[in-house]
Amino acid sequence: MVGFYIRRGMAEAPKKKRRVVRKSETVREQAVKSSKPKAEKKRRVRGAAKKAAKPLKGLRFLRYIIPPYFRNSWQELKKVTWPGRKETWQLTLAVFMFAIVFGLLVGITDYGLDKVFKRIFLNL
Protein backbone atom coordinates (compact mmCIF):
# COMPACT_ATOMS: atom_id res chain seq x y z
CA MET A 1 0.00 0.00 0.00
CA VAL A 2 2.86 2.36 0.81
CA GLY A 3 4.45 1.62 -2.59
CA PHE A 4 1.34 3.03 -4.26
CA TYR A 5 1.84 6.40 -2.59
CA ILE A 6 5.56 6.48 -3.41
CA ARG A 7 4.94 5.77 -7.13
CA ARG A 8 2.38 8.54 -7.31
CA GLY A 9 4.90 11.06 -5.98
CA MET A 10 3.52 11.35 -2.46
CA ALA A 11 6.08 11.09 0.28
CA GLU A 12 3.92 9.27 2.77
CA ALA A 13 0.45 7.92 3.17
CA PRO A 14 -2.21 10.28 4.49
CA LYS A 15 -2.57 10.03 8.25
CA LYS A 16 -5.74 8.66 9.65
CA LYS A 17 -7.62 10.87 12.04
CA ARG A 18 -7.25 9.62 15.57
CA ARG A 19 -10.37 9.40 17.55
CA VAL A 20 -9.97 11.04 20.94
CA VAL A 21 -11.53 9.07 23.73
CA ARG A 22 -12.52 11.14 26.71
CA LYS A 23 -11.62 9.76 30.09
CA SER A 24 -14.79 9.15 32.05
CA GLU A 25 -15.11 11.01 35.31
CA THR A 26 -14.90 9.13 38.56
CA VAL A 27 -17.70 9.35 41.09
CA ARG A 28 -15.55 11.54 43.32
CA GLU A 29 -14.83 13.97 40.47
CA GLN A 30 -18.54 14.21 39.68
CA ALA A 31 -19.36 14.83 43.34
CA VAL A 32 -16.73 17.56 43.61
CA LYS A 33 -17.97 19.21 40.44
CA SER A 34 -21.62 19.13 41.53
CA SER A 35 -20.91 20.23 45.11
CA LYS A 36 -19.11 23.42 44.12
CA PRO A 37 -21.60 26.29 44.24
CA LYS A 38 -21.54 29.01 41.59
CA ALA A 39 -20.20 31.61 43.99
CA GLU A 40 -18.06 30.20 46.75
CA LYS A 41 -19.49 31.05 50.14
CA LYS A 42 -17.20 31.63 53.05
CA ARG A 43 -18.09 29.11 55.70
CA ARG A 44 -17.71 29.80 59.34
CA VAL A 45 -15.37 27.24 60.78
CA ARG A 46 -15.03 26.84 64.47
CA GLY A 47 -11.64 26.65 66.12
CA ALA A 48 -12.09 23.03 67.12
CA ALA A 49 -12.77 22.03 63.51
CA LYS A 50 -9.57 23.73 62.36
CA LYS A 51 -7.56 21.92 65.00
CA ALA A 52 -9.16 18.58 64.15
CA ALA A 53 -8.19 18.91 60.49
CA LYS A 54 -4.51 18.56 61.24
CA PRO A 55 -4.03 15.93 63.92
CA LEU A 56 -0.60 15.25 65.29
CA LYS A 57 1.00 17.74 62.91
CA GLY A 58 4.24 18.13 64.81
CA LEU A 59 4.58 14.47 65.78
CA ARG A 60 5.91 12.97 62.54
CA PHE A 61 7.47 10.01 64.31
CA LEU A 62 3.97 8.69 65.02
CA ARG A 63 3.63 8.06 61.28
CA TYR A 64 5.57 4.86 61.77
CA ILE A 65 3.59 3.79 64.84
CA ILE A 66 0.05 4.34 63.50
CA PRO A 67 -1.06 1.56 61.13
CA PRO A 68 -1.62 2.59 57.50
CA TYR A 69 -5.32 1.69 57.72
CA PHE A 70 -5.96 4.52 60.20
CA ARG A 71 -3.84 7.02 58.26
CA ASN A 72 -5.70 6.21 55.03
CA SER A 73 -9.06 6.37 56.80
CA TRP A 74 -8.22 9.83 58.12
CA GLN A 75 -7.21 11.01 54.65
CA GLU A 76 -10.52 9.77 53.23
CA LEU A 77 -12.47 11.51 56.01
CA LYS A 78 -10.80 14.80 55.12
CA LYS A 79 -12.11 14.42 51.55
CA VAL A 80 -15.73 13.98 52.64
CA THR A 81 -18.15 16.85 52.00
CA TRP A 82 -20.18 17.01 55.19
CA PRO A 83 -23.77 18.32 55.14
CA GLY A 84 -24.53 21.73 56.57
CA ARG A 85 -26.55 22.44 59.70
CA LYS A 86 -29.85 22.92 57.83
CA GLU A 87 -29.49 19.73 55.79
CA THR A 88 -28.52 17.78 58.91
CA TRP A 89 -31.69 18.89 60.72
CA GLN A 90 -33.83 18.02 57.69
CA LEU A 91 -32.35 14.53 57.47
CA THR A 92 -32.69 14.01 61.22
CA LEU A 93 -36.34 15.04 61.08
CA ALA A 94 -36.92 12.63 58.19
CA VAL A 95 -35.42 9.76 60.21
CA PHE A 96 -37.60 10.56 63.24
CA MET A 97 -40.74 10.78 61.10
CA PHE A 98 -39.96 7.44 59.45
CA ALA A 99 -39.34 5.83 62.86
CA ILE A 100 -42.65 7.14 64.24
CA VAL A 101 -44.69 6.04 61.21
CA PHE A 102 -43.02 2.62 61.08
CA GLY A 103 -43.53 2.16 64.83
CA LEU A 104 -47.22 3.00 64.49
CA LEU A 105 -47.64 0.52 61.64
CA VAL A 106 -45.96 -2.25 63.63
CA GLY A 107 -48.04 -1.39 66.72
CA ILE A 108 -51.34 -1.39 64.82
CA THR A 109 -50.47 -4.69 63.11
CA ASP A 110 -49.51 -6.27 66.45
CA TYR A 111 -52.72 -5.09 68.10
CA GLY A 112 -54.85 -6.40 65.21
CA LEU A 113 -53.16 -9.80 65.12
CA ASP A 114 -53.47 -10.06 68.91
CA LYS A 115 -57.25 -9.52 68.71
CA VAL A 116 -57.63 -11.97 65.80
CA PHE A 117 -55.66 -14.77 67.49
CA LYS A 118 -57.44 -14.30 70.83
CA ARG A 119 -60.82 -14.52 69.10
CA ILE A 120 -59.84 -17.59 67.04
CA PHE A 121 -57.84 -19.63 69.55
CA LEU A 122 -59.28 -18.61 72.89
CA ASN A 123 -62.89 -18.09 71.72
CA LEU A 124 -63.27 -14.95 73.79
Counted domains in the chain: 2
Is residue 30 a part of any domain in this protein?
no
Cα 68 from chain centroid? 22
Mean pLDDT of 90-113: 97
Q: CA-to-CA distance for 13 and 3, rounded, in angstroms?
A: 9
Is residue 94 a part of any domain in this protein?
yes
Is residue 26 a part of any domain in this protein?
no
**pLDDT, mean over the chain:** 77
Asked whether residue 120 falls in the same domain as residue 95, the answer is yes
pLDDT above 90 covers a percentage of the chain that reads 30
Is residue 37 a part of any domain in this protein?
no
Asked whether residue 90 falls in the same domain as residue 72, the answer is no
pLDDT at 101 over 80: yes
- Give residue 52's domain range: 46-80
Phi-psi category of residue 56: left, alpha or beta, with phi > 0 → left and psi -120 to 50 → alpha: left
Asked whether residue 90 falls in the same domain as residue 55, the answer is no
Is residue 119 a part of any domain in this protein?
yes
Is residue 76 a part of any domain in this protein?
yes
Is residue 89 a part of any domain in this protein?
yes
pLDDT at 49 over 90: no
Helix runs in the chain, H state only: 2-7, 27-35, 47-53, 68-79, 85-121
Asked whether residue 94 falls in the same domain as residue 112, the answer is yes
Is residue 33 a part of any domain in this protein?
no
